[in-house]
Structure 1
């Protein structure tokens, strides 16, 4: 079933503790900031990180290096038990011009930075001229004290369940599934569940800054990574170096507001896809008009609710799986051709492509194992977000969600029950990102972003406080802007990170 992605969208606050520790150096663990990292060749990503091969040599020379940093399990007891935080880096090409480390978080929450950075490194090659490119698995993710809930067989069954119930029996099945999942998380990961909040990860990043030898944290956050960056800036404003937020989470919203925003965002992205397909010179193979495309998709989903199609192996393409696959394809315009092909096949009775797209959304690896994306996503979101939504809450909100998106409304509305009966209380309604005294942060909003709607960028700028956020608009499609291919965006980001040239507030790129 879909997990609420208040950013992916998460909310936080453990501020009394973190503010006290920031102000009082005597409470800092004396040994951890001075620990020496032992960088080694990187192993193959394990199944929790998504599997695959070990990262290859870097295009411009050099090798990927990996290590593990020790951090307190509980930042309230900094001299207590520790956990390992997995790191990866590509060293700067021009040592004499090196600025420091540039730390990446690619979002989720729940995504492995150790596995993701090598996959996208070519796009960040210019930044490597003056930075060590560094990423990490946040606590609870990948190789960093990973949250474990259900096994692969159970997750296959979970992802086949109907996440948009139509009657009382289906509602009960959904709620029972949520409860069973939470109980599995508590049984298998109870020790770590209270300590995976975004505030904990932000404190890990400041420890990382110290261990890497940097006076300031230079940072590139994408999607949920913008929320993590905002929380860091709130806790450590004087330690912010050059920072970029791309695909920006709205830090002012509750889970309900953010999820409704995503319904509108995915609907807009689907409409943009349909307009693009039907405006081509050749006929669009999945509809004659934009509305026809959407009507045919709605009809397909209704039919799948009654009778799923063959998907992959023994698994069926259910209504939920198809909706997940369609949503996944809207994260990048590069995936639109696969959406078209997947819809064509589904109309002909073959659900394999849409199922494959759904597997990507759910963190299912090609060998049938799962990364811990779903588990970490649930654990971080539910530890961050205070609200707990019941079936009655969702049913009261369904008309508003359906109006926002006939295709994704039910799917996203029902995702809000995912934290009901969670074994750890949520921290706050939304994160505090106010960062008075911080260096400028470049905040990039994409007008066609499905997962983090454009309006969130302006709200992040406002929430950071006067003189901190510098907004740049990208008029494009997909989730994020820097990797869109826009030279305007890349030039602005590179100029800021490499040369310290802050673009004019209100700059627009297309």
Structure 2
């Protein structure tokens, strides 16, 4: 699916000026709704439940829906610290708790925290967004060449938005991240906890940032890995993301120059890449692994982004480039296809994600000007493809965003927040983490992994130890933060 930059679970907001701005009761106050727990169907060692929350937090006495919640209890109850709420971004939290949580976190974290997560509203088992799979299959690439193609993209977006709203119902109008923050505090209250700890990754870092804005005094600790910055207008956002992609590509080329494991070791990797892009522009870049497929420049950038730069292992991308250059058999490429033919409905992240971003691309002239700016800061990659898809879709989404970008304003009494980020992350670049650090102000700290890829906690013993030490003992690196080598 073309819209792959999954910000549907992110949090944003303006400074506490929201309807229903009062926090839910803290522990010991008026009784909060409870969660009826039972063993999960897919993992009976984990508890699953449902919490009824308002569709519209501005009308807390109105219609409600069930928020799906999962909990993996602390392995050593006698040493239990409390609840660690987790948001990985881009997927149902209940699946994470039932699956990857037991291997993602260290034994000490699992021993001392209840790991809790939920499916964000509009996703998974929490009143999910429904859209026509037939419409989604017709999703065009976000690369309009003239005003006529731009207008066709606009018409497609309007059709998709209307269909998703009709199929999903009223909750589709309340998928903004402020509502998500209030859902998280409802879970805290239902668990009977006066404070919670939080660990967010990627898109899940924004729910963390804005929970801190709304409910900072209900936090014990917060760690944010691969940090999204939600403060930039359209042009700066797109340029920054393109620069992140270019930085990640340059890091890949440097790896090829020093590591004999690279299939292109000893060769001019940027020159080879540029040659592939020229062939893609001409319509002559054929895929040796898929008969009849011709790659566009956008396809090629997408393969590099998803197939190498986002992960810690560059070897696939080097082998893929070598195969494309020579025309000889090699790894199979990454093809963004639509839903399978048997599927009738599908979740689409734009319905939620576009409620949190005000992005302005009024016509093709503006789009072309932004594309030129991206290309100047990213002469090899040209763009960050997921961001380009996200930005064009949301700029044309026919619904006013409920929760546009703003600078963070965390209230007094919020505990220090720990950020961790890879130096060469194509999706959430290190400069973004630095910007968020400055917005958080005194007390926050940044752990920098001097490597590549998206997601830093699991990369090294150093990054894991820094986050664990903070979550377990509330120790924040002093001074300018901590650097962890590859």
TM-score normalized by the length of structure 2: 0.86
Quick check: 1:182–1:421 contact (8 Å CA) kept in 2? no
Distance 1:6 1:258 in 2: 14
SS for the counterpart of 1:384 is: coil
**By how many angstroms is 1:488 displaced?**
1.1
Quick check: 2:88–2:200 contact (8 Å CA) kept in 1? yes
Quick check: 1:193–1:424 contact (8 Å CA) kept in 2? no
Change in 2 beyond 3 A, CA 1:287/1:188: farther
**Is 1:112 matched up with 2:67?**
no
**By how many angstroms is 1:88 displaced?**
2.1
SS for the counterpart of 2:334 is: helix
Q: Which structure 1 segments of 5+ residues have no match? A: 43-53, 58-62
**By how many angstroms is 1:169 displaced?**
4.0
Q: Name the residue aligned to 2:362.
A: 390
Q: Name the residue aligned to 1:50.
A: none
- Where does 1:203-218 land on structure 2 (aligned, <5 Å)? 203-218=182-197
Q: Name the residue aligned to 1:326.
A: 304
Residue range with higher mean Cα deviation, 250-259 or 263-272? 250-259
Q: Name the residue aligned to 2:37.
A: 38
**By how many angstroms is 1:507 displaced?**
1.6
SS for the counterpart of 2:22 is: helix
- Where does 1:223-302 land on structure 2 (aligned, <5 Å)? 223-281=202-260, 284-285=263-264, 288-302=267-281
Q: Name the residue aligned to 1:157.
A: 138
Quick check: 1:385–1:429 contact (8 Å CA) kept in 2? yes
CA RMSD of aligned residues (A): 3.3
Change in 2 beyond 3 A, CA 1:137/1:248: same
Distance 2:359 2:79 in 1: 47
State the Cα deviation string for residues 145-166 of structure 1 (Å, max 9, x = none).
1112231x443332xx332123
Q: Name the residue aligned to 2:118.
A: 136
Q: Name the residue aligned to 2:21.
A: 20
- Where does 1:269-418 land on structure 2 (aligned, <5 Å)? 269-281=248-260, 284-285=263-264, 288-303=267-282, 305=283, 309=287, 319-330=297-308, 332-347=310-325, 348=327, 353-355=332-334, 358=336, 375-376=348-349, 378-391=350-363, 392-406=365-379, 407-409=381-383, 411=385, 412-413=387-388, 415-418=390-393
- Number of residues paired by the alignment? 474
Distance 1:313 1:68 in 2: 48
67, 73, 79: which is aligned to 1:85?
67
**By how many angstroms is 1:315 displaced?**
8.4
Quick check: 2:52–2:67 contact (8 Å CA) kept in 1? yes
Change in 2 beyond 3 A, CA 1:342/1:15: same
Q: Name the residue aligned to 2:462.
A: 488
**By how many angstroms is 1:314 displaced?**
10
SS for the counterpart of 1:37 is: coil
SS for the counterpart of 1:21 is: coil
Q: Which structure 2 segments of 5+ residues have no match? A: none
Distance 1:315 1:83 in 2: 45
Q: Name the residue aligned to 1:424.
A: 399
**By how many angstroms is 1:132 displaced?**
1.3
**By how many angstroms is 1:437 displaced?**
1.5
TM-score normalized by the length of structure 1: 0.83
Distance 1:7 1:465 in 2: 27
Distance 1:346 1:90 in 2: 46
SS for the counterpart of 2:280 is: helix
Distance 1:476 1:132 in 2: 31
Change in 2 beyond 3 A, CA 1:300/1:480: farther
Q: Name the residue aligned to 1:177.
A: 156
SS for the counterpart of 1:472 is: strand
Quick check: 2:242–2:384 contact (8 Å CA) kept in 1? no
- Where does 1:180-199 land on structure 2 (aligned, <5 Å)? 180-199=159-178
